[in-house]
Chains A and B, each alone.
Chain A
Amino acid sequence: ETGVTQSPTHLIKTRGQQVTLRCSSQSGHNTVSWYQQALGQGPQFIFQYYREEENGRGNFPPRFSGLQFPNYSSELNVNALELDDSALYLCASSRRQGTNEQFFGPGTRLTVL
């Protein structure tokens, strides 16, 4: 069973730029959630995708957007990057039915200069 993978591992951007992060779900999982984890803090829920549609959203501005593809992989897009966007971005996949247990990828470390 293939686990959750994310790319890239690290990324450095400057303020105002745009970034796209990618996630491949664990085999058999149909739901993807994205989280932002600042240093020393707990993960903050950004949004969840199911059947290629946003299915729940945390308190993040619209410049955070996403996509889910038919193979359940997903992208997180962030426009107009701000310094405070520097964080570890985690993707988690799960099955919609059952326990909703989430399995996390290794994360993408984004640094905004």
Chain B
Amino acid sequence: ELKVEQNPLFLSMQEGKNYTIYCNYSTTSDRLYWYRQDPGKSLESLFVLLSNGAVKQEGRLMASLDTKARLSTLHITAAVHDLSATYFCAVLMYNFNKFYFGSGTKLNVKP
């Protein structure tokens, strides 16, 4: 079974700082997704990464995928309070139509 590990699980940072969230997975896959979840809300799709070396950016967030290392990163640039949320990565085992989510990284950006 595929394992997805995120770290850190909790992240408290000051506004204006940069940080990276890591997502490691245990089995070959070339489809990785990042989601954001606000408290009591559903999941919002942020990025879809479909190939080795894929990089996507939206505002202060940038996601990348290294399929050989089985690693994706979500980089936060100059954090603002509005980015406070829980961020999940998810990996698709394409041949089995199964999605596996990480445990999430709870981000708190302090003013």
Chain A residues in the interface with B (C-beta under 8 A):
33, 35, 41-45, 48, 50, 55-59, 90, 92, 99-107
Contact = CB atoms under 8 A, between A and B. Distances in A.
B23 to A, nearest CB: 11
Contact of B99 (A45, A106, A107): A45
Interface residues of B, number: 25
Given A90-B42, A104-B43, A41 B103 contact: yes
Given A42-B101, A43-B88, A44-B101, A101 B33 contact: yes
B12 interface: no
B48 A33 contact: no
Interface stretch (B57-65, B67-75, B76-84, B90-98): B90-98
Given A43-B101, A56-B97, A107-B42, 14 more contacts: A35-B99, A42-B4, A42-B101, A44-B101, A45-B98, A45-B100, A45-B101, A57-B98, A58-B98, A59-B1, A100-B31, A100-B94, A101-B48, A106-B42
B50 interface: yes
B74 to A, nearest CB: 15
Contact of B97 (A35, A48, A99): A48
B59 to A, nearest CB: 18
25 contacts: A33-B99, A35-B99, A42-B88, A42-B102, A42-B104, A43-B88, A43-B90, A43-B101, A45-B98, A45-B99, A50-B97, A55-B97, A56-B97, A56-B98, A57-B98, A58-B98, A99-B31, A99-B50, A100-B31, A101-B33, A101-B45, A101-B48, A102-B33, A102-B99, A104-B43
Interface of B: 1, 4, 31, 33, 35, 41-45, 48, 50, 88, 90, 92, 94, 96-104
A41 B96 CA distance: 23
A101 B98 CA distance: 13
B24 to A, nearest CB: 14
Contact of B42 (A48, A55, A104): A104
Contacts of A45: 98-101
